[in-house]
Structure 1
Amino acid sequence: MSLTSHTKNSAGVPSGKQGKLSLYDAVLGQENSLNFIRLSLATAVIIAHTGPLIGVHADFLGIPSSRVNLIGGWAVNMFFAISGFLIAHSAQRGTAAGYLKRRALRIFPGYWVSILFVVFLCAPISVATGHTEESFSIKSAGGYIFRNFDLFNLQYPLFGGPIGIPYSHTWNGSVWTLGFEFLGYLALIPLFYIPFVRRNTKWIVPAIYTILLLGYPFFALIGKEPNHFTEYILRLHAYFFAGVLLYLFGKRIPFNATLGVCLTIVGCVAWIASPSEVARYIHIPVAYGILALSAVIKTRWCSKNDISYGIYIYAFPVQILLAIFGSASLGWILNFVLTFAITTGLAWLSWLYVEKPALALKDRKLLRLRRNRPAGTVTASS
């Protein structure tokens, strides 16, 4: 994705002939590497999960094993920051129904097929190898599909398993974040599609972010701990709305490549060192960092084919399946390599045959209407 002097920003001005770029123009006005960064973040989640899922505790690049799992938490935070920025951009066009349709088509088809992958491949293998408490039954399989269908009230074990491995009774421990992601999508509907609210979005969004930011201090003040649901809302949606904020004010925020790289590194280190302290209050700086980094990195990897989502939803069951086959004896590094290789193949198939075709449906009605227009009709997009 190397840029040339002909690359233009969102205003149509060649980037080589203008002054300093804004964050908005740096990310959206020219080619970016957000797909590659999301793939890297999904890979970081695999790294974080590898040790615990096979019962091997080893350092990673000098980071103690007790802290390695925190890399996955940081990656999830960055997913939400990027998502807030991009989904706010998506919400700028069309109707609320069209927006909801686009978001549903992006998240649900791939996710539903990953459920079938667990039900009809992974779980039967665990039954055949004696890693379950129950035998295969259509009723239990149907119940698993039904309970996991809508991203909420998730069921993790199936047929009483997997058991007999270091991390048991969970087939996909990563998908819990998807429900919170979708809640973020829903939260943007009134902000961008109700006229009165939309006119005041640049006041309301900062207010929402401030409430989320002050959530932890509030609970500390009253001497209580937030429940798990509230804690995840405070954490993940603070990053999500930090991304929304940076989108709304992005044209006024200067883009600085060096600052972006530094903030990304500092944010990651801060999270690993103290995830429950200072890292709770640096959402906007680290969101700026990861977004700016997408304009700094020049690569064509994943520019056309976004397999990051497939990597995220398939990696965990693949790791569990490898553990069932005794992969712990292979060690930490080889388990990671095997997981990444297998999951990449599944993610590629998911993108080609499930996610990409599903996304192609988002404008089907619009295209049909256009085909029926009389010749010479000028549309708004023209």
Structure 2
Amino acid sequence: MPDVSTSDVNAPGVAAPDVNVPDRKRAPLRTVLRPPRSGPAGPDPSVPAARGGRDGRLRALDGLRILAALMVCLYHFAGKNGTVAESWHQSPATLFPDISAVATYGCLGVQFFFVISGFVICMSSWGRTLGDFFRSRVSRLYPAYWAALLLVTGASFLLPAVVHAVRADEFLVNLTMLQQPMGVPRVLGVCWTLWVEVRFYALFALFVVWRGVTYQRVVMFCALWTLAGVFARVTNHPLTDELVMRDHAPFFIGGLALYLIHRFGSDPLLWGIVGVSFLLGQRYSVTALWHPGAQGDFVRNPYVIQLIVALSFLSVAAVALGWLRWASWRWLTVAGTLTYPFYLIHEHLGWFVIRVLHRGAELPPRLTLVLAPVLLLGLAWLIHRCVERPVGPRIKRAMKPRAVTR
């Protein structure tokens, strides 16, 4: 899922924008059901803007984002086998029998990220031109991503047992973030979610942003994307699956509708979109994750999977309705800025840190399980301070047309 500013949002695990919005009263029902049109310059002033906290920032979203990232981190450290078991020198299910039973559900943090991403992308793109949207996404995603690539590639030479050595041609293609459709091995294991996010951005930009984000256009986009996902499942063709993302679309669509609820107020149509998105999303999550791990050590209960998916939608819905406005602690903003770089580095570098702390320094397993994320959060803060903050704005300025810059 990046730093959280309403102008630059991202999701999954993934980067997010600043979530700053004016604090105004709810719109009358008749206004909500038929909101006036809004163009690229923004919504009609007669329609109240989204409800935020005291300073207009939705800090609760920052908290949800770091929670989703920690869920995925716990899964990669204690909820699966594979390379992490080699770092622990045994299966986490044996080492942490109590924790691993919970950690195996942490992979659902990705679906949580996608719901949040739908919400914040709709919010950050409101009133923006297509060029503004494109520049904000590039400047938001790539600086931390490139830094993570360099760090993980360096680790692959220091400890190949944890991260396989990366070839030069693979590394160069990974710089584009297009390695997955190109059939090139991923340097960052978690970056498959970035490819999902990029496709979501492209669809939303082509069908909504380029004409100007409005209530009607977002609703139409949600409806058409839902139908396209259903038909893609019928055709069952790899190309349509790649374009429509039938398995991931419901989570983004639910987030988009929840932002409209946040901005314009409750509406039966919007809640209907959210409900359908949940029903479709929980089905995918159960069928994709209801099975034991490779060694049979991790088993997921389908009802728990459904519950976690429901809580993901409900958590973002609570933000949309203003129920979490009380969660306005400033440290949540800091946590939100660390989410994206932490998400990028936590998997492979986390396995590296576990091997060094547990097998090298001989620290107890549970202490290692606590220290590893803390150290990675510290590294994420360095990436944010030394890479994202100085490099992102420069990239955005460099991408502006010369006439605008002058």
Tell me if both proteins adopt one fold, taking TM over 0.5 as the criterion: yes
Partner of 1:153: 179
Matched, 1:42 2:69: yes
The residue correspondences of 1:284-303 to structure 2 (distance < 5 A) are: 285=314, 287-289=316-318, 291=320, 294-303=324-333
Return the letter of the residue paired with 2:325. A
Q: 1:322/1:208 Cα in 2 relative to 1: closer, same or farther (>3 Å)? A: same
Q: Is 1:318 the counterpart of 2:349 in the alignment?
A: yes
Match of residue 249, structure 2, among 229, 237, 247:
237
Q: Does residue 1:183 correspond to 2:194, yes or no?
A: no
Q: What is the TM-score of this pair, normalised by structure 1? A: 0.67
Match of 2:262 among 246, 250, 254: 250
Q: Specify the SS of the correspondent of 1:306.
A: helix
Alpha-carbon distance between aligned partners in 2 of 1:243 and 1:97, rounded to the nearest angstrom: 23
Match in the other structure for 1:86: 120
Cα distance in 1 between the residues matched to 2:303 and 2:149: 31
Q: Are the aligned partners of 2:152 and 2:349 in contact in 1 as well (CA < 8 Å)?
A: no
- The structure 1 residue matched to 2:366, chosen from 324, 328, 333, is 333
Q: Which secondary structure does the structure 2 equivalent of 1:25 belong to?
A: coil
Distance 2:70 2:309 in 1: 25
- 2:38 is aligned to none
How far 1:182 sits from its partner (Å)?
1.4
CA contact (8 A) 1:91 1:192 kept: no
The amino acid across from 2:67 in the alignment is S
Q: Secondary structure at the match of 1:234?
A: coil
Is it true that 1:201 corresponds to 2:217 in the alignment? yes
Higher mean displacement: 77-86 or 316-325: 316-325
Please give the per-residue CA displacement for 1:66-100, whole angstroms capped at 9, x wherever unaligned.
55222232x21121111111111221233212211
Q: Distance in 2 between matches of 1:105 and 1:244?
A: 22
**Cα distance between partner residues in 2 of 1:190 and 1:237:** 16
Aligned counterpart in structure 1 of residue 397 of structure 2, from 352, 364, 371: 364
Residues 126/96 of structure 1: CA separation in 2 closer, same or farther (3 Å cut): same
2:146 maps to which residue? 112
Q: Which amino acid aligns with 1:335?
A: T
* Residue in structure 2 matched with residue 56 of structure 1 by the alignment: 92
User: Which amino acid in structure 1 is aligned with residue 150 of structure 2?
Assistant: L
70, 85, 96: which one pairs with 2:105? 70
| 1:341 Cα deviation from its structure 2 partner | 1.8
RMSD between superposed Cα atoms in Å: 4.6
CA distance in 2, matches of 1:371, 1:232: 36
Amino acid at match of 1:43: L
Distance 1:118 1:89, change over 3 A: same
CA distance in 2, matches of 1:314, 1:69: 19
| 1:306 equivalent in alignment to 2:337 | yes
CA gap of 1:315–1:278, structure 2 versus 1, over 3 A, is closer
The whole-number CA distance in structure 2 between the counterparts of 1:71 and 1:232 is 25
1:25 aligns with 2:60: no
Counterpart residue identity of residue 243, structure 1: G
CA distance in 2, matches of 1:325, 1:332: 12
How far 1:314 sits from its partner (Å)? Answer: 1.0
- Higher mean Cα deviation, 174-183 or 299-308? 299-308
Partners in 2 of 1:367 and 1:194 — Cα distance? 17
Read off the aligned partner of 1:71 and give its amino acid letter.
G
| Structure-2 change in CA distance of 1:171 and 1:321 (3 Å) | farther
Deviation at 1:369, TM superposition (A): 7.7
Q: Quote the Cα distance in structure 2 between the aligned partners of 1:170 and 1:11.
A: 42
Q: Return 5+ residue gaps in structure 1 as ranges.
A: 1-7, 15-21, 159-168, 256-262, 373-382
Does structure 1 residue 274 correspond to structure 2 residue 302?
yes
SS in 1 for 2:317: helix
Q: How far off its partner does 1:39 sit?
A: 1.7
Q: Report the Cα distance in structure 2 between the residues aligned to 1:281 and 1:227, rounded to whole angstroms.
A: 27
Residue 154 of structure 1, CA deviation: 4.3
Where does structure 2 lack aligned partners over 5 or more consecutive residues?
Answer: 1-19, 27-47, 86-90, 268-274, 276-280, 287-299
Where 2:201 maps in the other structure, the secondary structure is helix
Count of aligned residue pairs for this structure pair = 321
User: For 1:90 and 1:191, how far apart are their aligned partners in 2?
Assistant: 16
Q: Distance in 1 between matches of 2:365 and 2:237?
A: 35
